[in-house]
Amino acid sequence: MALAKIVYASMTGNTEEIADIVANKLQELGHDVEVDECTSVDASDFEDADIAIVATYTYGDGDLPDEIVDFYEDLQDLDLSGKIYGVVGSGDTFYDYFCKSVDEFEAQFAITGATKGADSVKVDLAAEDEDIENLEAFAEHISKAVDAL
């Protein structure tokens, strides 16, 4: 059984809910899952996981949320080869750089040597039915990827 660690940043709750949807699906698929807010953990905690997932919103003008910047910077120093990663997040299509923080984390994970388990899922504000389907499919892809290791 694989251990999935999901780390999230969320100001108004949309991303926390997204993290929970992914967590519930992974649990249903038989994995152990830990969900933590980004200021309560260190990036190096991912070294103990088989699956590393970040869920983040985007702030400012396509910026990372302030509270996840340290976590983001520390991530690039890790060797996560042999692990599966995925990124999900919430943004608002009103802004020029929709869900840019999701792309930033994708790039950062690539540096760690981890293997991408599923394409990122970007949600416009709160997850609706179609988003929930996409998030559950994301979890299924991640699960298959880790089982194939």
- Outline where the chain has alpha helix (H): 14-28, 69-75, 100-112, 129-147
What are residue 130's phi and psi, to 5 degrees? -65, -35
**Which residue, 14 or 134, has its beta carbon nearer to ligand FMN?**
14
58 lies in the site for ligand FMN, by CB under 6 A: yes
Instruction: Decide if 42 contacts 90 (C-beta within 8 A).
Output: no
DSSP state of 11: S
Please select the residue that binds ligand FMN; options are 41, 115, 120, 125, rule is CB under 6 A: 125
Instruction: Decide if 51 contacts 4 (C-beta within 8 A).
Output: yes
Q: What is the distance between the alpha carbons of residues 39 and 61, in angstroms, rounded to a whole number? A: 22
The β-bridge relationship of strands 115-116 and 3-8 is unpaired
Binding region for ligand FMN (CB under 6 A) out of 97-105, 113-121, 129-137, 141-149: 97-105
Please select the residue that binds ligand FMN; options are 46, 59, 72, 105, rule is CB under 6 A: 59
105 lies in the site for ligand FMN, by CB under 6 A: no
53 lies in the site for ligand FMN, by CB under 6 A: no
10 lies in the site for ligand FMN, by CB under 6 A: yes
What are residue 96's phi and psi, to 5 degrees? -65, -40
Binding region for ligand FMN (CB under 6 A) out of 7-15, 35-43, 45-53, 110-118: 7-15
The least distance separating ligand FMN from the CB of residue 54, rounded to whole angstroms, comes to 13
Binding site for ligand FMN (CB under 6 A): 10-15, 57-62, 90-92, 95, 97-100, 125
